[in-house]
């Protein structure tokens, strides 16, 4: 078992884990920390191969391949947007309506990397579906389904509609930042076709907030 990591599923082709908030998916650029989910998983499963990433502050479900064939198969599904991902977020304020879609193109904010920003002229397409799960006096719990996988997509999209994610050290204004002790964003569910046999599989890990 990787230290400090919950192993949700293991078979001959893949590993499914619950990444904690505050742990990078891959090593930081030197001279940053080498501690990351990838390193911890490989210490326990040397054959593990990276498929995708989550932001360091985001918790939730991540998958690793255990063979090159499985890595190619899963990578193909990600490239063709056949993988279904679902997130949970707590955002500042009371969101109007019960569901909707955010369609705002994103681009790197180069002077402020790794931050991203909306840019209608140069941005790449980015689409997120949202629905209200619960309402609090000063916050809203949302279910999120991204159709694209742009860096910081969910964080920037929610900021753009006036509801930054609580605890977001990159984008939240002071009140929203201090309203939670961590980024309130969790990758709750992932679904895809298993690389051995092609059956549809889904893995779920409830949000810890």
Catalytic residues: 55
72 upstream amide cis, omega within 30 of 0: no
CB-count exposure of residue 93 (10 Å: 0-12, 13-18, 19+): middle
Do the Cβ atoms of 200 and 182 come closer than 8 Å? no
114 upstream amide cis, omega within 30 of 0: yes
Do the Cβ atoms of 145 and 127 come closer than 8 Å? no
Query: Of 53, 5, 28, 95, nearest to 187 (Cα)?
Result: 53
């Amino acid at each position: 078992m990787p230290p400090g990591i919950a192993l949700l599923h293991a078979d001959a082709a893949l590993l499914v884990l619950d990444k904690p908030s505050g742990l990078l998916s891959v090593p930081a650029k030197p001279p940053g920390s080498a501690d990351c989910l990838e390193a911890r998983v490989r210490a326990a499963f040397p054959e593990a191969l990276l498929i995708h990433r989550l932001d360091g502050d985001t918790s939730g479900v991540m998958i690793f391949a255990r063979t090159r064939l499985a890595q190619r198969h899963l990578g193909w599904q990600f490239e063709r947007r056949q993988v279904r991902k679902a997130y949970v977020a707590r955002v500042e304020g009371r969101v109007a309506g019960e569901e909707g879609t955010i369609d705002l193109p994103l681009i790197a904010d180069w002077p402020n990397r790794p931050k991203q920003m909306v840019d209608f002229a140069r941005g790449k397409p980015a689409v997120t579906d949202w629905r209200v799960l619960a309402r609090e006096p000063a916050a809203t719990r949302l279910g999120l389904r991204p159709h694209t996988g742009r860096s910081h997509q969910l964080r920037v999209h929610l900021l753009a509609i006036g509801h930054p994610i609580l605890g977001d050290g990159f984008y939240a204004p002071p009140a929203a930042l201090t309203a939670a002790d961590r980024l309130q964003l969790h990758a709750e569910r992932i679904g895809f076709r298993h690389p051995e046999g092609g059956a549809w599989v889904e893995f779920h890990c409830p949000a810890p907030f």
